Structure 1
Amino acid sequence: MTKINNIAKNTSYLTIALIMQKVISFTYFAFLARNLGPENLGKYYFALSFTTIFAIFIDLGFINFLTREVAKKQEAAEKLLGNILSIKLLLTFLTTIIVAVMINLFNHDQLTKDLVYISIICMVLDSFTTTFFATIRGFHNLKYESIASVIFQLIVLSFGLVAMCLDLNLRLILGTLALASIYNFIYSFWVLHHKIGIKLQLLYDAELIKSIFKISLPFAFFAIFQRLYTYLDSVFLSIMAGDYYVGLYQVAFKIIFALQFLPLAFTASLYPAMSTYWLTNRPQLTIAFERAMNYLVIISLPIIFGTIMLADKIVLIFKSDFAAAILPLRITIIALFFIFINFPIGSLLNACDRQKRNTFNMLIVTLASIGLNLVLIPLFKATGAGLTVLLTNLLMFILGIIWVKKIIVYSPKKNLLVFAKALLASMLMSSLIFWMKPILNVVIITTISAVVYFSLIYLLGGFHKADILYIIKSFKKPNSSRAAEVVSEEKTTGEIE
């Protein structure tokens, strides 16, 4: 019972931390956008996106390997960590040189280059911090990492606001991220050494290192493709259109990124159940998948319709300088539908031992993203990047749903019926928004619209009381192993501020 309670606590810590992270992060982004304007915001995020892409070459899938292997054999933690640290030191040195050389090959001003150099500090420190916390996860302790993730955001928010109030330059504003990274590094080291009792040492075991690379390779490939897919668009925008358009694009990017905590938290509960049903109850696996698709359709559609209707008011939160971000936001937010429903599809493939298929799908989508960005960004700037996000997430859905039908006995009829009901409720809600928009502010409109939408979808039979109880129950289930992987995936995708 103690173990079960501990797992439940870990899951609660992570869920709460994930929500708080998103709220604080988006709040800071709003202040940042208002104070910097599109062009400087673009420089800020180009620097972070550029280094975030290269950061994966320091890790190469070691994080997932470390957590899983330490969980299996905790007495081997020091040996595993010591060998991985030896590898990472070499990779850090090589990656840092590559990033510094690469940024000087592009025609960027000195300010942008300096921002990249500061971002390198964050890249290196965050990589080792994540390694320390990955080891701690192996001991089924997620409390300290959850606390650290929230404090990290609070440091960035508080010192960043001070820097902006004092009208300090962009280098010092980005420096608040480096300050938070230093805190996280020291804190994670302290927890690992004093709370877990792990001594840090550099070790070299040729056979073990060979084994580490062999097991980590599939994780590394997926992480590389995912990282390129997520952040290369900002780099392309900066190079082909300019930092101004990177700043505009970040409005849509940040909103979508912030909303992903909804399917992330839900998937943390869904994945272990799917893994069990795959082995013991295939019909129940189909039911679980259909339910997950229904719930995420019901949640995503009103957000999409509401954002499209209120895009001009939402963008004004970041000041009138971002008026040109309205169209990119309206296009990009449509992708949220596919982003949400791709979560249960990906979870199903992983739970049913189709990880290689997920990786291959991500490769195809990444290549498509690169090709589309190269064509659409020169033509449509930030709107082109938004179109790429929409089209590639649609492609990911198509590639995934093909395999769903090969794994389970799946008929889309039930999901399409719920989709139709949610679509009707969203359209009626949009009509109400159109009427309220000239006379009420965004917060009041959003609140009233949410109440009206969920009342309509309930009356239409889109969901029932049993569905509400099921969702509440799923979040209470103790599934810290998958929750840890969710956090790992969050860090893998690199939530940059």
Structure 2
Amino acid sequence: MNQVQRIVKNIGVTGFAQVLTSLMAFVLLIYLTRILGEADFGKYSFAISLTTLLATFTDLGVNQLLVREIARDKDLSESYISNAVILKVPLGVMTLALVPILSWLLSLSGDITMLLYLFGFYNVLLTVSGTYLSLFQAWERMEYVAVFQIIERSVTVTLGLAVLFMGYGVFAVALVYAVAGVLDLLVASAISFKRFVRPSISFEPGLQWRLLVEGLPFGLNSLFAVFFFKIDTVLLGILRDDVAVGVYNAAYNPLLSLSMIISGMVSSAVYPVMSRQFTDEGDVLENFTMVSCRYLSIISFPMAAGCLVLADRFISLFYGGGFSGSIIAFQILSLFIPIRLVSTITGTLLSSIDRQGFRMLSVSLSAALNIILNIILIPLYSYIGASIATVVSELFLYMLFLHYIGRHYKHVDVNGTFRKPALASVIMGAAVYLMMDLNLLIIILLASCIYFGVLILIKTFDEEDKVILMKLMGRSP
């Protein structure tokens, strides 16, 4: 199996798992919003967002460091994984200890505090089980990541829907997540011990200190990234109310899930490859980066255009007659899809060339801008202000990534990959607007044909794409 086939295989299995699990999660999301209502759904969104942020203190970037180091030397697997898991036990305890402190500082109600404990327990265990997923990713055996994700999400969604249909509320859903967190750890460790490393207890303080120190830039990057994704929800809960949180997340969650599906399956497959390519001579890594950005541009621009034009149709499809206030937020937030997906590659490039510190700095500056914009805009425009802050911050992050790549690696003309997909998407969007009265599925099918037809007419694909296709088919170009 050549490198192209291996990458596509890993993207394929990861993509299958991401799509399947995201569809299951989306079904749960739909029923959460419909059954819980705006206020309780707002509590759910606030609690899971805040605890996702807190859980970054359990990892502190260790998982991402493991992927890079084990991908370069697989003999490190056993000692690194064992020490990483042991390291995360006290970190997880300290993370959960932050819950009562934050509850007191923010004057949170007792029911919100209980939700924070349950979702916090789940997120801490998910971070520990992620240590084993880092091992699978470093070995480029993404099928095991896929198995884990499918099992985890199946349990969460099945039990979550069960308690909702039985008439239980948000606390029962949170308890389901906590039970799923225990199962996550058992499944991930079982796969790891059966296929990759022996179960062992290896306590090496020097190695654990190194994991902490070298993983810290990754950890800060993850912390600021979670700020990026979740701080708008947290601030809406503090500065507005549960209803505003519910309306905003009804628009944000589907788009976030869509972008996470694609970025997750691509980054997990290309990160080990890009880490190895940095040790090679020549322009292999640069060319790989450009090709990856180009294909993500081709995928993401029509998604943004379709979501922008068909926002009311999608919101109506998802939530029936409710959450009409989410339509304009959905339209604004759709603009971040191409920026976020391409930033996945440029951010991964910075980590691959050992410049994760600049990736962390970029995300931290963008998160700071996001917080400032949210504090200014939420009191004035509520969830609409939060939507604007998200898009502006995403654009700022994209510009910072390109700046540091050009400064510490070389100039990579990522912007050049946007032109033809953006043009084809504008034409497609205009056509969709004229077909608004048709069945939604028919619109999507016709729009896809129009988009790819325009791409072909403006000669978007070239000999390089032919070479990639031939390698994918296992034939020499």
Coarse TM-score class (shorter-chain normalised)? 0.7 to 0.9
How far apart are residue 325 of structure 1 and its match? 0.6
Matches within 5 A, 1:294-333: 294-316=294-316, 317-333=318-334
Give the whole-Å Cα distance in 2 for the aligned partners of 1:466 and 1:6.
18
How far apart are residue 100 of structure 1 and its match? 2.7
Contact 1:269 1:475 in 2 (8 A): no
Q: 1:352 to 1:84 in 2, by over 3 A?
A: closer
Give the whole-Å Cα distance in 1 for the aligned partners of 2:349 and 2:246.
35
Deviations 1:209-259 (A, max 9, x none): 332322222222222222222212111111111121211221332222222
Give the whole-Å Cα distance in 1 for the aligned partners of 2:348 and 2:473.
16
Contact 2:71 2:139 in 1 (8 A): yes
Match in the other structure for 1:134 = 134
Paired letter, 1:429: M
**Structure 2 gap segments, 5+ residues each:** none
How far apart are residue 54 of structure 1 and its match? 0.8
Give the whole-Å Cα distance in 2 for the aligned partners of 1:305 and 1:2.
35
Match in the other structure for 1:378 = 379
How far apart are residue 330 of structure 1 and its match? 0.8
Aligned counterpart in structure 2 of residue 467 of structure 1, from 448, 465, 468: 465
How far apart are residue 4 of structure 1 and its match? 11
Moved more, 149-158 or 137-146: 137-146
Give the whole-Å Cα distance in 2 for the aligned partners of 1:434 and 1:358.
39
Give the whole-Å Cα distance in 1 for the aligned partners of 2:291 and 2:144.
33
Deviations 1:400-430 (A, max 9, x none): 2234444335557844xx62x4344333322
Moved more, 465-474 or 310-319: 465-474
Matched, 1:231 2:230: yes
Moved more, 149-158 or 59-68: 59-68
Match in the other structure for 2:243 = 244
Matched, 1:397 2:395: no
Matched, 1:258 2:257: yes
Match in the other structure for 1:344 = 345
Q: 1:91 to 1:387 in 2, by over 3 A?
A: same
Matches within 5 A, 1:116-155: 116-135=116-135, 141-155=141-155
Q: 1:194 to 1:414 in 2, by over 3 A?
A: closer
Paired letter, 2:375: L
How far apart are residue 82 of structure 1 and its match? 4.4
Match in the other structure for 1:169 = 169
Match in the other structure for 2:410 = 408
Moved more, 377-386 or 348-357: 348-357
How far apart are residue 268 of structure 1 and its match? 5.0
How far apart are residue 465 of structure 1 and its match? 7.9
Q: 1:165 to 1:345 in 2, by over 3 A?
A: same
How far apart are residue 432 of structure 1 and its match? 2.5
Give the whole-Å Cα distance in 1 for the aligned partners of 2:20 and 2:192.
24
Q: 1:472 to 1:100 in 2, by over 3 A?
A: farther
Q: 1:461 to 1:241 in 2, by over 3 A?
A: same
Matched, 1:367 2:368: yes
Paired letter, 1:344: I
Q: 1:174 to 1:412 in 2, by over 3 A?
A: closer
Paired letter, 2:127: S
Computed over aligned residues only, the root mean square deviation of the Cα atoms, in angstroms, reads 3.3
Matched, 1:30 2:30: yes
Contact 1:46 1:235 in 2 (8 A): yes
Give the whole-Å Cα distance in 2 for the aligned partners of 1:335 and 1:363.
18
Deviations 1:47-70 (A, max 9, x none): 111111111111112223444555
Paired letter, 1:376: L
How far apart are residue 360 of structure 1 and its match? 1.4
Q: 1:195 to 1:465 in 2, by over 3 A?
A: closer
Match in the other structure for 2:443 = 445
Contact 1:275 1:352 in 2 (8 A): no
Deviations 1:173-220 (A, max 9, x none): 23222232222122223334455453353x544333332322222222
Match in the other structure for 1:454 = 452
**Structure 1 gap segments, 5+ residues each:** 478-497
How far apart are residue 314 of structure 1 and its match? 0.9
Q: 1:339 to 1:82 in 2, by over 3 A?
A: closer
Matches within 5 A, 1:81-120: 81-120=81-120
Give the whole-Å Cα distance in 2 for the aligned partners of 1:475 and 1:385.
45
* Partner SS state of residue 461, structure 2: coil
Deviations 1:155-184 (A, max 9, x none): 222222222222212111232222322221
* TM-score normalised per structure 1: 0.84
* Partner SS state of residue 334, structure 2: helix
Contact 1:51 1:123 in 2 (8 A): yes
Contact 1:38 1:321 in 2 (8 A): no
How far apart are residue 456 of structure 1 and its match? 2.0
* Partner SS state of residue 128, structure 1: helix
Paired letter, 1:443: L
How far apart are residue 293 of structure 1 and its match? 3.5
Contact 1:311 1:330 in 2 (8 A): yes
Q: 1:465 to 1:249 in 2, by over 3 A?
A: farther
Paired letter, 2:382: K
Contact 1:118 1:174 in 2 (8 A): yes
Contact 1:248 1:382 in 2 (8 A): yes
Contact 1:70 1:76 in 2 (8 A): yes
Higher relative contact order (CA 8 A, sep 6+): 1
Deviations 1:316-365 (A, max 9, x none): 12132211111111111111121122223223333444322222111211
* Partner SS state of residue 323, structure 1: coil
Give the whole-Å Cα distance in 1 for the aligned partners of 2:237 and 2:190.
39
Matched, 1:57 2:43: no
Matched, 1:428 2:430: no
Matched, 1:198 2:198: yes
Give the whole-Å Cα distance in 1 for the aligned partners of 2:299 and 2:457.
16
Identity rate, percent: 23
Match in the other structure for 1:335 = 336
Contact 1:234 1:246 in 2 (8 A): yes
Q: 1:186 to 1:292 in 2, by over 3 A?
A: closer
* Partner SS state of residue 21, structure 2: helix
Contact 1:252 1:333 in 2 (8 A): no
Give the whole-Å Cα distance in 1 for the aligned partners of 2:221 and 2:6.
31
Match in the other structure for 1:182 = 182
